Amino acid sequence: MDTHTNSSSATTPTMLTGSEIIWATLVGEGVVEVFGYPGGAILPAYDALRKFPIRHILVRHEQGAAHMADGYARASGKVGVAIATSGPGATNLVTGIATAMLDSIPMVCITGNVSSKVLGTDAFQEVDITGVTLPITKHSFLVTRPEEIAPALRHAFQIAQSGRPGPVLVDITKDAQQATALFDFEAAKPKPYRPHPMLKVETNELAKAAELIRNAKKPVILAGHGIQQSGAMEQVRALSERAQIPVAMTLLGIGGFPASHPLNMGMMGMHGESWVNDAIQNADLLIACGMRFDDRVIGTPGTYAVKAKKIHIDIDPAEINKNIKVDIALLGDLKDVLEQLLPRISSGKAGQHNGSSWIKAIEASKGAVSVRDIKNIPDSGHLYAAHVMHDLWRMTGGNAIVATDVGQHQMWEAQYFHHEHPRSLVTSGGLGTMGFALPAAIGAKVACPDKEVWVIAGDGGFQMTAAELATIKQENLKINIAIINNGYLGMVRQWQEFFYDRNYESTPLVSPDFVKLADAHGIAGLAVTTRGEVEAAVNQARKHDGPFLLNFFVEQEDSVYPMIPAGKALHEMIRRPGHNPLVETPEDL
């Protein structure tokens, strides 16, 4: 990370207040934007903010601050910073911290706390936030003295982005912010990063892995989030192309391998296409690259790819043999490991030959399925979410950063919006946090002001954090919002349809008029009800100078297919219905 040194305090030791030390350390760490919400215990820090070249984005709820810092980190690869006061301010961060933890996002959260003299006395707005967040942070610090602030913050930045990244919380008492101490940025530097002692790539393991790859007849690369985290896009592509290995992506792996690449099969798992999951089930070798065999991609452990040898490349030794027993573990940074592995993989014709018959078989298995795909059936006048995703992809050229929420629209986006570039899909995979999309998109837009940014959210999740519309307006951010409005908590309704006899208990949703809601925030908007209107509406949103909200009224009881019911094997998926009343012409493509 670049070290920003336009503050003289970052180079020469100076007497500063703890508050000033907070900002000076952030400046030294290269931070230019933070997301936060002031309050009593963090007020001294806010009082000192104006002296430092840091842009503070005022959020409407601290959960939004955490998601924004998270979205900022996902879109840019830099550490996101969220700030909150003690007590409720700190606890409001919790969902956002857990979201970042489950998806290994580098983030530093700074909270104020009551004065050290009253710590542990249930003082006003006191909560033991380091205790509360213990299992959902990579590490945390409780700082009670001004001289500890810079070392703790610098250590926090190191921990957040080293190894397997994750969120770090630094809780700073009010008196530590108010007192003064000598600030020496260089002296506060943490000890050199200590890699996990179990990380080691054995040469003979590398050789065995290379041999497995050479001899495989039906190999599949499982592309995970680690590819983008490690920046191993080129290496994975080289491995895939050299040995002609088709690639299946996890949800968070999307963007790490270009969607248009002929060897990219698509997304695996619960809502992955049948040919992808079938390829995994029939494979004789799986090469897992920076993915953790989550239950949403394996179905059940006992039925998962039983014929396949498995090579697991990961930076976290605790992931090895956790869900799926593997034959070879290559522990380390994915990029480094692949750099060592690639010279052992020849681009000789043996690999090519073996690969191609396998690839042809996968291609052949696509045919029958894809004609049932919604975008291949004639227009019935109805509007389906898949249409919206498909058109958004087509019209943005797949170049936008898309922040999705959680539920049906998230899966449809993953299926129909084809991401070419890393860090272009911002979504909560591990924790599945509804309300993530809107604030995460704000973070992404702040990190990448020149990129086109879209929010795609359901009518349910959108309302969880809709207050951040005001943040968009206050910061005047050009963010386009697509609400996929089906009047239900759609994914839950789908589960009720499939597994609970269509007992739609507590899933029908009466929502406000989102266009009027946007209007109340000074944000333009438009409702869309038919497929024919989608293109013009998306055009209008993109051309509009300022944020724009599109409220897409889509088919209410549409479901995401294919689907692997929980507890079933990957090949036991519920396929798309052969008869779909939603009929469209192929010309619509």
Partner 1 sequence: MLHTFVSYVEDKPGVLTRVASLFRRLNINIISLTVGRSERSGLSRLTLVCEASAEAGNRIRASLYKLDNVLDVDDIAGAPSVTRELALIKVSATRHTRSAIFELAEVFRARIVDLTAESLMIEMTGVESKIEGLIQVLIESEHDILEICRSGKMTMRRGHHTSRVLKALGSDDTEQDSEQLTADSE
**Shortest reach from residue 317's CB to partner 1, in Å:** 4
Q: One symbol per residue from 457 to 496: x for binding partner 1 (CB under 8 A), - otherwise; what is it?
A: ----------------------------------------
Phi, psi of 398 (to 5 degrees): 70, 15
Q: Which residues are catalytic?
A: 62, 124-125, 174, 491
Q: 181 has which bridge partners? A: 16
| 320: contact with partner 1 by CB under 8 A | yes
| 322: contact with partner 1 by CB under 8 A | yes
Q: 104 and 166 in contact (C-beta within 8 Å)? A: yes
Q: One symbol per residue from 151 to 180: x for binding partner 1 (CB under 8 A), - otherwise; what is it?
A: --------x----x----------------
| 522: contact with partner 1 by CB under 8 A | no
Phi, psi of 176 (to 5 degrees): -70, -30
| 197: contact with partner 1 by CB under 8 A | yes
Say how far apart CA 1 and CA 373 lie, in whole Å: 44
Pair type for strands 180-183 and 14-17: antiparallel
Say how far apart CA 399 and CA 268 lie, in whole Å: 22
| 134: contact with partner 1 by CB under 8 A | yes
| 187: contact with partner 1 by CB under 8 A | no
- In the bound state with partner 1, the residue whose beta carbon lies nearer, of 193 and 499, is 193
**Shortest reach from residue 194's CB to partner 1, in Å:** 5
Give the count of alpha carbons within 13 A of 216, CB side only.
Answer: 31
Using CB under 8 A, pick the residue from 124, 193, 498, 500 that binds partner 1.
Answer: 193
Site for partner 1 in 234-293 (CB under 8 A): none
Rg, C-alpha atoms of the chain:
25
Residue 30: left (phi > 0), alpha (psi -120 to 50), or beta? left
Burial of 91 (0-12, 13-18, 19+ CB in 10 A): middle
Using CB under 8 A, pick the residue from 50, 122, 135, 510 that binds partner 1.
Answer: 135
| 317: contact with partner 1 by CB under 8 A | yes
The dihedral of CA 429, 434, 435, 438: what is its sign?
Answer: positive
- In the bound state with partner 1, the residue whose beta carbon lies nearer, of 130 and 471, is 130
**Shortest reach from residue 123's CB to partner 1, in Å:** 19
**Shortest reach from residue 293's CB to partner 1, in Å:** 13
Q: Which alpha helices (H) appear in 134-285, and where do they start and end? A: 146-161, 174-178, 203-215, 226-230, 233-242, 274-282
The alpha carbon of residue 65 and the mean position of all alpha carbons in its chain are separated, in whole angstroms, by 15
- In the bound state with partner 1, the residue whose beta carbon lies nearer, of 141 and 412, is 141
Strand arrangement of the beta sheet that strand 524-528 belongs to = 425-426, 401-404, 453-458, 479-485, 548-553, 524-528
Residue 13: cis peptide before it, omega within 30 degrees of 0: no
Nearest to 47 by CA among 70, 17, 9, 75: 17
- Segment lying near partner 1 (by CB under 8 A), choices 107-115, 208-216, 316-324, 377-385: 316-324
| 316: contact with partner 1 by CB under 8 A | yes
Using CB under 8 A, pick the residue from 56, 74, 138, 493 that binds partner 1.
Answer: 138
**Shortest reach from residue 373's CB to partner 1, in Å:** 40
- Segment lying near partner 1 (by CB under 8 A), choices 37-45, 170-178, 268-276, 314-322: 314-322
- In the bound state with partner 1, the residue whose beta carbon lies nearer, of 322 and 421, is 322
- In the bound state with partner 1, the residue whose beta carbon lies nearer, of 280 and 320, is 320
Residues that bind partner 1 (CB under 8 A): 130-131, 134-135, 138-139, 142, 159, 164, 191-200, 316-318, 320-322
